[in-house]
Amino acid sequence: MGKATGFMEIKREEAQERDPITRLNDWKEYSAPFSDEMMSRQGARCMDCGTPFCHIGMEIGAATSGCPVYNLIPEWNDLVYKGMWKEALERLLKTNNFPEFTGRVCPAPCEGSCTVAISDPAVAIKNIEQAIIDKGFENGWITPRIPKERSGKTVAIIGSGPAGMASADQLNQAGHTVTVYERSDRAGGLLTYGIPNMKLEKHVVQRRIDLLEKEGVTFKTNTEVGVDVSPQELKEQYDAVILCTGAQKQRDLVIEGRNSEGVHYAMDYLTTSTKSLLDSNFEDGNYIDAKDKDVIVIGGGDTGADCIATALRQGCNSVVQFGKHPQLPLARTSENMWPEYPFVFGLEYAHKEAKAKFGEDIRQYSIQTKKFVADEKGKLKELHTVEMKKVRDENGMFVYEEIPGTEKVWPAQLVFIAIGFEGPEQPLLKQFGVHTSNRKVEAEYGDFATNVDGVFAAGDARRGQSLIVWAINEGREVAYAVDGYLMGTSSLPTYQAM
């Protein structure tokens, strides 16, 4: 695939980004457009490897390796290299319903398991994927696909995130009448309100929703199942119900001073900021404002980085990100060998922006927050930390110990807790009567059926907090299972047969 010697002759070119300081003045995507010539060069780097590990899509070492939607990556890399963009789009859409999302916000486990990455920088798979789908929309190659026949079967999907939308797309194409229920005022789930505009502009999400509606999918927003409509009503009205509610129960940091004014969940911050931007360009004031404040983000993941980028655009006085783990190495260690996901040091878009503004990396490692301290009015004024070290206990297990004498007081008027999610919210699951384990819905992968007849579950609600590509995988697979449940057999594609 690609040019036979391309990986030896052509170097990886990073995606172009707008200047970090300049882009802090707006909320547009930080990336710059790709040129056809650059993408052709990068496609040429794809090797004709015997086993393309880029699309193995499996868990290795508690992390995802390869593409969970099993994109036919070498095929469309070769087609892009040859300038056959429309054919590349056709191959891409065979496995991925929403490349415009994964091409922008997926952490690209495919690149971590790229064969070139054994000794050189990986093929720029993620950038090529985005370029293909963007060109498809620009050239009008993507048009509504109206099902020729309707089955007479109806399906309700609760949640309009990537799992819900993927299952809706597949089931609609199978001829079923699909209704997606969303409690927010806009469809898209975390794609709309959980990922900030500078990573994924919302017109990109809305464009896909509009397309699904033209194809026959109905979205009912501002409708919370369990409040506005009961689970019993849905089970009576529809032939099948799919729970794609996500894992939105945020993990808390229960320490002294947690109730101080100014301590918030990260997702509350991101959601209100995006909603206010979309509703009024921040004129309504219905958001948490970091302007002129000292901000601390607790949690070292992508959600924390999004909080940094948001606070910078709001004009914060300072921002620091805490992580409990040590700084990652600059290269793979012997415990993190290819094709595992590479846990190596890097700068996310938000860290580049913070470094450009403040002149240094704003991340702090191996640190633990001990308590929040408020002033006499209950408003947060500072937090206290201590440094940690990773050691083995008497059982040989790794634990974290405090390092005496490393206590520190940090000024802060805003803190965002971004330490992950516990699982789906439980009240709705209890109303449906579905069994849960470790807060997640019990439904076996491949079958996706719960203990309640006609009720299925997929995405983060079933597997726990995960990647967008796994949500799309599960959305497609639950559609295959539901189609088989309704019709006795299914003609929809399934990854299990690949």
Give residue 441's identity as a one-letter amino acid code. Answer: V
Tokens coding 417? 């807790």
| CATH node for 154-248+422-497 | 3.50.50.60
| CATH node for 252-419 | 3.50.50.60
Q: Provide the pLDDT for residue 376.
A: 96
Q: What is the pLDDT of residues 312-336, one digit of tens each?
A: 999 999 999 999 899 999 999 999 9
Q: Would you give the distance in Å from CA 486 to the centre of its chain?
A: 30
Indicate the average pLDDT of the chain: 95
Q: Provide the pLDDT for residue 334.
A: 92
CB-based contact 250:267 (threshold 8 Å): yes
Based on the number of CB atoms within 10 Å of its own CB, is 354 exposed (0-12), middle (13-18) or buried (19 or more)? buried
Q: What is the pLDDT of residues 138-168, one digit of tens each?
A: 999 999 999 999 999 999 999 999 999 999 9
- Return the percentage of the chain with pLDDT > 90, whole number: 92
Average pLDDT in the 96-101 region?
98
Q: How far apart are CA 434 and CA 120, in angstroms?
A: 48
Average pLDDT in the 91-97 region?
97
Q: How far apart are CA 258 and CA 281, in angstroms?
A: 30
| Nearest residue to 129 (alpha-carbon basis) of 174, 91, 82 | 91
Tokens coding 90? 């056709």
- Model confidence at 363, pLDDT cuts 50, 70, 90, reads very high
Q: How far apart are CA 62 and CA 421, in angstroms?
A: 17
Q: Is the pLDDT of residue 368 over 90?
A: yes
Q: Is the pLDDT of residue 497 over 70?
A: no
pTM of the model: 0.96
Residue 310 neighbours by CB under 8 Å, 6+ apart: 196, 269, 270, 273, 290
Question: Do 154-248+422-497 and 252-419 share a fold?
Answer: yes
Q: Is the pLDDT of residue 216 over 70?
A: yes
Q: What is the pLDDT of residues 389-433, one digit of tens each?
A: 988 888 888 888 999 999 999 999 999 999 999 999 999 999 999
Domain 6-138 is of which CATH architecture? Orthogonal Bundle (1.10)
Instruction: Enumerate helices (H) and strands (E) in the chain, giving the number of each.
Output: 18, 20
Looking at 256-402, which runs of residues are DSSP E strands?
A: 263-265, 294-298, 318-322, 363-364, 367-374, 380-392, 398-402
3-class SS of residue 415: strand
Q: Provide the pLDDT for residue 1.
A: 61
CB-based contact 389:403 (threshold 8 Å): yes
Where exactly are the structural domains of the chain?
A: 6-138, 154-248+422-497, 252-419
Q: Is the pLDDT of residue 498 over 50?
A: no
- Return the percentage of the chain with pLDDT > 70, whole number: 99
Q: Is the pLDDT of residue 359 over 90?
A: yes
Run of H or E residues at 178:
strand 177-181
Average pLDDT in the 30-41 region?
92
Q: Provide the pLDDT for residue 149.
A: 96
